[in-house]
Structure 1
Amino acid sequence: MLSTLVDFGDHINKTLSSSEIDKIKYAAFLIKNNVENPLTIPEISRIIGINQTKLKIQFKQVFEMTIFDFLQKIRMTEAKNYLSDTNLSIQEIGNLVGYKSSSNFSFAFKNVYGLSPIIYKNQLIEK
């Protein structure tokens, strides 16, 4: 999943140097590998060595989505995989993808997939 998202970028604005692109790809790597306890934008900015505004702008140039949208996409993809491939509870899955509240997780999942995680899981079981 990450390789697909990190390798994405043939459309990158040519004003970014290869060093800047590498930093943004590293930011994506950090986001992907810290889903359970997401890093803040200031933390990511400090780690990769660019200011927050530049991070947000360049991230959107490289991935054509905001940092939050990128994190959300990873969270929901992982949640869907956990629902399909494990017997973990909704609360456990929510925690694994970075939600402290199962109701917030359920709300976000329903916004993305149109079904609550419980209904999604039940439909998988019925098949």
Structure 2
Amino acid sequence: MNATAPELRTVVIERDFPHPPEKLWRALTQPHLIEAWLMKSDFMPVAGHHFHFRAEWGAVDCMVTEVAPQRTLAYTWSAYGLESVVTWTLEPSASGTLLRMEQSGFRPDQEQAYQGAKFGWQKFFGALEQVLATEAA
């Protein structure tokens, strides 16, 4: 029997947005904006805050683990047996802000969740782009 832990996988998406970090931070932390591109939530950017994302397919239990305004946001993401962590990193770039989303913690037997996250986050990033384009600065 192999005693080493199974290899966990991570979904990473990076995109350069033509907006300042402050604007992306608002879209990541204000519930009415989060709802516009991701899901309904009772999110608050406070370390230790427990919250939920809600969609037609169910809910995700979360807890904020890190908040560094306009730089880093991290929270746990627990749903349907998946125990993962989503980390957002904002970095000023020549054109605006490089946004990196990393969801880590997919076990080898969670292929469907892993593939779903790869697809889902691409879709969410597209919706985020629309929200940023229409939302006043």
TM-score range, shorter-chain basis? Answer: 0.3 to 0.5
TM-score after normalising by structure 2 = 0.32
TM-score after normalising by structure 1 = 0.34
Specify which structure has the higher proportion of helix: 1
Higher relative contact order, structure no. (Cα contacts within 8 Å, ≥ 6 residues apart): 2
Specify which structure has the higher proportion of strand: 2
